[in-house]
């Protein structure tokens, strides 16, 4: 089934609408697995997944590791900090070394845009992009879509504001692609310094006023404001950023009762979001994290399972994927 | 009887076009006319015989990075591409900024297949702090000074360098890039950089320095040569400056009139180059600049890199691409210009900028130096990186079909390329 159709997961665009919908359908099944008393299925027994994280990550890596364990895959961790990479080994040599140990997939996070794409030319294993530079973070977008779909019943026709540092955000790029692919209308809310230099590639509108937008949208998606941005003269100060673009308590009170608040984490409470907003009933931040595991199970399964693999092991039924 | 005769070609130079034989003896043309005889005959049937090509912008990597290229391997690539003279860039290790390095490079050049000239750095170590010993290096034959790879950022230092250069009669060549705007950028800033998430460099980073140096040229009277112009705004400013009588010249590379930033779509580092590949509109402007003479010369910016160096992420791979062996084919295939204008941009115009117009690019008449290129303008071929003479393989044109190929190259009377093969 899927293995030959889609060998890597690099971007939402590569996946396409069909692919996104396939993953979301699969995720339903794995959410069910995650709710079992023993949340584990043997579908990827004997498969090996390697983690290759060139950039620090706690939540994404834990989420992938949990997903792999629940699918009974073996995993190995290539710790960049203590490896030959720090002795000047090239990207190509590193990934070929890992592959030689016998892996079926490599989950890569890299500070450089495009590194996962480059790796695909040197490997037979599947490559999963766990975030590359400012470029893409497709599993984050998939878990966000899943979370929104569960909350709102659907994404088509919804208005979604993505607020904050779009320019430097792989989460924003992947979410723009995923939300618009599923029929949502996306408005970017940011000062001009935090927008990409060109908006031509993106099917979005832009606003420089969060106050004009928050009353009219179904979703407010807040991005992390990196503390170093003010040193690059992108904003005068974090205080001014919070005053003009932060989801303050006062702004949160103006949200519609059904307006969903999202954040990919880690949050800077008091900067892009007021301290108590994530605890509001509208906020789905913990749902995002929870669904992340099931989405990543779906992604690993989609790439690594073969025709012969029963989807749910001994007692399971086949999925429609 | 003369040593060598080139028979049956269309001779094209500034004097015009005629079908004649060219006889060569002791490094000079000794006869131009019908039915000449020689000890050795180079058939030029169906070919153009032109003054030798001159590349104003070649990175030969020696000394310091001989894994990527040597003066010898680069010179072989040059003559196979029809170049009889090169101006080597000074960003070697050590930098070409003192007499000992200039002497070493020129000595290696004398053993090579091409007539090698070298530029030298404007500032010591190309660091932009203190001037290199320009008078001493001028005495050794340096005619072009450049910090290529870096523009001279300090406007006061650039003014002094230009004033000092006027006393020496040399040309300063500038890599135009205001680093405060370009730093941290790895491709053209625009639609594609936004899509790919690669930090960009705006066109204005180049244009601001072009604007500044036009002003400084007006102030100092120093000739300034703009290297590898890549933006429509730069071309327009150079055009206006020339119209106003300011002493500026300019070159464009083959890749800046052939490729756009869309080529970076797959993060293939072979397309990473500085200045970066720009937009369709910029490519059109560069072509127009070559067409109306606002841009004098076609240069290669031949920049070899080993495969390991390019097998890095896009942001950390070194910039640069090969160019010597594909320049003529690209110029003839991509530019809609008459043959004599393409030859002028490859030969006599860059020769004049390099200050070597009496030895290269000269009209083909009795007594002129025998630096000649014979090429078949209709020969169709496909670029295969493995066939290149360069030590490196970083050509962005692998698999591309080009029309126009060098058949013979004569350097100082020696046929160093015969029927497309290097003779040593």
Whether A318 is in a domain gets the answer: no
Minimum distance, in Å, between the CA of residue A247 and any CA atom of chain B: 26
Judge if A8 and A124 occupy the same domain: yes
Judge if A144 and A112 occupy the same domain: no
Interface probe with A: pick from B197, B264, B279, B309, most Cβ of A within 10 Å: B197
Judge if A223 and A130 occupy the same domain: no
Q: Euclidean distance between the first and final Cα of chain B, in Å?
A: 25
pLDDT of A89 higher than 80: no
Q: What is the 3-state secondary structure (H, E, C) of chain B?
A: CCCEEEEEEEEEECCEEEEEEEEEECCEEEEEECCCCCCEEEECCCCEEEECEEEEEECCCCCCCCCCCCHHHHHHHHHHCCEEEEEECCCCCCCCCCHHHHHHHHHHHHHCCCEEEECECCEHHHCCCCECCHHHHHHCCCCEEECCCCCCCCHHHHHHHHHHHHHHCCEEEECCCCHHHHCCCCEECCHHHHHHCCCEECHHHHHHHHHHHHHHHHHHCCCEEECCCCCHHHHHHHHHHHHCCCCEEEEEECHHHCCCHHHHHHCCHHHCCCCCCCCHHHHHHHHHHHHHCCCCEEECCECCCCHHHHCCCCCCCCCCECCCCCHHHHHHHHCCCCHHHHHHHHCHHHHHHHCCCCCCCCCCCCCCECCEEEEEEEEEEECCHHHCCCCCCCCCCCCCEEEEEEEEEEECCEEEEECCEECC
Domain boundary among B325, B354, B383: B354
Judge if B168 and B246 occupy the same domain: yes
Whether B359 is in a domain gets the answer: no
In tens, the pLDDT along A132-143 reads 999 999 999 999
Judge if A212 and A156 occupy the same domain: yes
pLDDT at A1: 38
pLDDT of A126 higher than 50: yes
Judge if B179 and B221 occupy the same domain: yes
Interface probe with B: pick from A96, A137, A177, A196, most Cβ of B within 10 Å: A196
Separation CA A152–CA A146 (nearest Å): 10
pLDDT at B351: 98
- The stretch A193-209 carries a mean pLDDT of 97
Judge if B68 and B155 occupy the same domain: yes
Whether B30 is in a domain gets the answer: yes
Separation CA B135–CA B170 (nearest Å): 10
Domain boundary among B305, B327, B354: B354
Minimum distance, in Å, between the CA of residue B309 and any CA atom of chain A: 9
Tokens of B285: 């402007």
Judge if A43 and A180 occupy the same domain: no
Whether B276 is in a domain gets the answer: yes
Instruction: Pick A197's closest partner by Cβ from B193, B267, B314.
Output: B193
Q: Structural domain tally of chain A? A: 2
Whether B360 is in a domain gets the answer: no
Judge if B345 and B234 occupy the same domain: yes
Whether B169 is in a domain gets the answer: yes
Instruction: Pick B197's closest partner by Cβ from A92, A118, A170.
Output: A170
Do A118 and B267 lie within an 8 Å CB cutoff? yes
Minimum distance, in Å, between the CA of residue B128 and any CA atom of chain A: 24
Judge if B260 and B404 occupy the same domain: no
Whether A259 is in a domain gets the answer: yes
A229 touches chain B (CB under 8 A): no
- The stretch A100-113 carries a mean pLDDT of 95
A84 confidence band (pLDDT: 50, 70, 90): low
In tens, the pLDDT along B181-222 reads 999 999 999 999 999 999 999 999 999 999 999 999 999 999
ipTM exceeding cut-off 0.95 for this assembly: no
Domain hosting A98: range is 2-136+289-311
Judge if A142 and A278 occupy the same domain: yes
Judge if A272 and A298 occupy the same domain: no
- Cα radius of gyration rounded to whole Å, chain A: 20
Q: Structural domain tally of chain B? A: 2
Do B46 and B75 meet the contact criterion of CB atoms below 8 Å apart? no
Judge if B266 and B409 occupy the same domain: no
Judge if B323 and B174 occupy the same domain: yes
Judge if A106 and A204 occupy the same domain: no
Whether B288 is in a domain gets the answer: yes
Q: A285-304 and A59-70 helices cross at what angle (nearest 10)?
A: 50
Judge if A114 and A183 occupy the same domain: no
Whether B215 is in a domain gets the answer: yes
Of A30-39, A147-156, A311-320, B126-135, give the lowest mean pLDDT range: A311-320
Judge if B397 and B278 occupy the same domain: no
Do B198 and A170 lie within an 8 Å CB cutoff? no
Task: For residue B141, give the CATH number of its domain.
Answer: 3.20.20.140
ω before B63 within 30° of 0 (cis)?
A: yes
In tens, the pLDDT along B48-99 reads 999 999 999 999 999 999 999 999 999 999 999 999 999 999 999 999 999 9
Helices (H) and strands (E) in chain A, counts: 11, 9
A72 touches chain B (CB under 8 A): no
pLDDT at A90: 80
Judge if A81 and A213 occupy the same domain: no
Task: For residue B416, give the CATH number of its domain.
Answer: 2.30.40.10
Q: State how beta strands B248-253 and B224-226 pair.
A: parallel
Judge if B132 and B248 occupy the same domain: yes
Do B198 and A197 lie within an 8 Å CB cutoff? no
Whether B362 is in a domain gets the answer: no
pLDDT of A228 higher than 90: no
Cβ contacts below 8 Å, chain A against chain B, sum to 67
Judge if A153 and A279 occupy the same domain: yes
Domain hosting B39: range is 4-48+367-422
Judge if B28 and B61 occupy the same domain: no
pLDDT of A6 higher than 50: no
Partners of residue A12 in chain B, C-beta under 8 Å: none
Do B315 and A90 lie within an 8 Å CB cutoff? no
Task: For residue A148, give the CATH number of its domain.
Answer: 3.40.50.1370
Judge if B140 and B220 occupy the same domain: yes
Do B311 and A91 lie within an 8 Å CB cutoff? yes
Judge if A271 and A294 occupy the same domain: no
Domain boundary among B354, B376, B396: B354
Task: Please give the positions of B annotated as active site.
Answer: 301
Show pLDDT as tens, one digit a residue, over chain B (424 residues): 999 999 999 999 999 999 999 999 999 999 999 999 999 999 999 999 999 999 999 999 999 999 999 999 999 999 999 999 999 999 999 999 999 999 999 999 999 999 999 999 999 999 999 999 999 999 999 999 999 999 999 999 999 999 999 999 999 999 999 999 999 999 999 999 999 999 999 999 999 999 999 999 999 999 999 999 999 999 999 999 999 999 999 999 999 999 999 999 999 999 999 999 999 999 999 999 999 999 999 999 999 999 999 999 999 999 999 999 999 999 999 999 999 999 999 999 999 999 999 999 999 999 999 999 999 999 999 999 999 999 999 999 999 999 999 999 999 999 999 999 999 9
A309 confidence band (pLDDT: 50, 70, 90): low
A268 touches chain B (CB under 8 A): no
Nearest CA in chain B to A170: B197
Whether A317 is in a domain gets the answer: no
Judge if B30 and B144 occupy the same domain: no
């Amino acid at each position: 089934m899927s293995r030959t159709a889609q060998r890597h997961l690099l971007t939402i665009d590569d996946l396409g609408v069909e692919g996104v919908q396939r993953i979301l359908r699969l995720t339903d099944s794995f959410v069910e697995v995650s709710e079992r008393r023993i949340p584990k299925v043997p579908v990827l027994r004997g498969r090996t997944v390697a983690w290759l994280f060139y950039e620090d990550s706690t939540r994404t890596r834990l989420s992938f590791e949990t997903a792999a364990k629940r699918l009974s895959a073996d995993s190995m961790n290539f710790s960049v900090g203590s490896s030959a990479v720090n002795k000047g080994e090239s990207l190509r040599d590193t990934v070929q070394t890992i592959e030689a140990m016998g892996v079926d997939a490599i989950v890569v996070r890299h500070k450089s845009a495009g590194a996962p794409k480059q790796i695909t030319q040197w490997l037979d294993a599947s490559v999963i992009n766990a975030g590359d530079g400012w470029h893409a973070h497709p599993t984050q977008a998939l878990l966000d879509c899943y979370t929104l779909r569960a909350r709102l019943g659907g994404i088509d026709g919804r208005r979604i504001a993505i607020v904050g540092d779009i320019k430097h955000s792989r989460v924003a790029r992947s979410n723009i692609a995923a939300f618009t692919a599923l029929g949502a209308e996306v408005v970017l809310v940011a000062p001009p310094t935090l927008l990409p230099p060109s908006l031509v590639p993106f099917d979005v509108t832009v606003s420089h006023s969060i106050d004009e937008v928050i009353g009219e949208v179904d979703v407010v998606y807040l991005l992390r404001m990196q503390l170093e941005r003010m040193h690059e003269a992108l904003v005068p100060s974090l205080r001014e950023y919070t005053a003009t673009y932060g989801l303050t308590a006062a702004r949160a009170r103006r949200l519609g009762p059904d307006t969903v608040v999202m954040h990919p984490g880690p949050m800077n409470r008091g900067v892009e979001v007021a301290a108590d907003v994530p605890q509001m009933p509208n906020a789905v931040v913990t749902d995002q994290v929870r669904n992340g595991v099931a989405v990543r199970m779906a992604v690993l399964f989609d790439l690594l399972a073969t025709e012969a693999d029963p989807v749910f092991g001994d007692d399971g039924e086949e999925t429609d994927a | 009887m003369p040593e060598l005769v080139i028979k049956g070609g269309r001779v094209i130079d500034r004097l015009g076009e005629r079908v004649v034989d060219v006889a060569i003896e002791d490094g000079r043309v000794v006869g131009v006319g019908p039915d000449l005889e020689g000890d050795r005959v180079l058939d030029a049937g169906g070919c153009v015989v032109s003054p030798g090509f001159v590349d104003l912008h070649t990175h030969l990597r020696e000394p310091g990075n001989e894994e990527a290229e040597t003066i010898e391997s680069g010179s072989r690539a040059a003559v196979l591409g029809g170049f009889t003279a090169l101006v080597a860039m000074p960003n070697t290790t050590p930098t070409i900024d003192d007499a000992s390095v200039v002497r070493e490079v020129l000595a290696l050049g004398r053993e090579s297949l091409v007539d090698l000239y070298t530029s030298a750095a404007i500032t010591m170590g190309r660091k932009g702090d203190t001037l290199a010993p320009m008078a001493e290096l001028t005495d050794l034959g340096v005619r072009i000074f450049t910090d290529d790879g870096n523009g001279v950022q300090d406007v006061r230092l650039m003014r002094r360098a230009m004033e000092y250069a006027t006393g020496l009669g040399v040309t300063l060549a500038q890599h135009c890039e205001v680093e405060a705007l370009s730093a941290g950028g790895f491709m053209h800033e625009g639609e594609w950089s936004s899509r790919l998430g690669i930090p960009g460099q705006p066109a204005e980073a180049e244009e601001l320095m072009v604007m500044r140096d036009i002003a400084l040229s007006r102030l100092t009277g120093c000739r300034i040569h703009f290297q590898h112009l890549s933006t429509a705004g730069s071309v327009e400013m150079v055009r206006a400056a020339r119209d106003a009588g300011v002493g500026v010249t300019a070159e464009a590379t083959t890749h800046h009139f052939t490729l756009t930033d869309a080529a970076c779509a797959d993060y293939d580092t072979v397309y990473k180059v500085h200045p970066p590949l720009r937009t369709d509109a910029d490519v059109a402007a560069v072509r127009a600049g070559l067409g109306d003479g606002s841009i004098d010369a076609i240069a290669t910016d031949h920049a070899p890199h080993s495969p390991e160096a390019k097998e890095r992420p896009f942001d950390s791979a070194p910039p640069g691409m090969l160019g010597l062996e594909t320049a003529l084919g690209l110029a003839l295939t991509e530019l809609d210009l008459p043959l004599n204008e393409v030859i002028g941009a490859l030969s006599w115009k860059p020769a004049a900028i390099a200050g070597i117009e009496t030895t290269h690019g000269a009209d083909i008449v009795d007594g002129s130096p025998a630096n000649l290129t014979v090429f078949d303008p209709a020969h169709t071929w496909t670029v295969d990186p493995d066939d290149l003479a360069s030590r490196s393989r970083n050509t962005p044109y692998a698999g591309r079909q080009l029309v126009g190929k060098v058949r013979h190259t004569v350097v100082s009377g020696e046929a160093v390329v015969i029927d497309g093969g290097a003779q040593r």
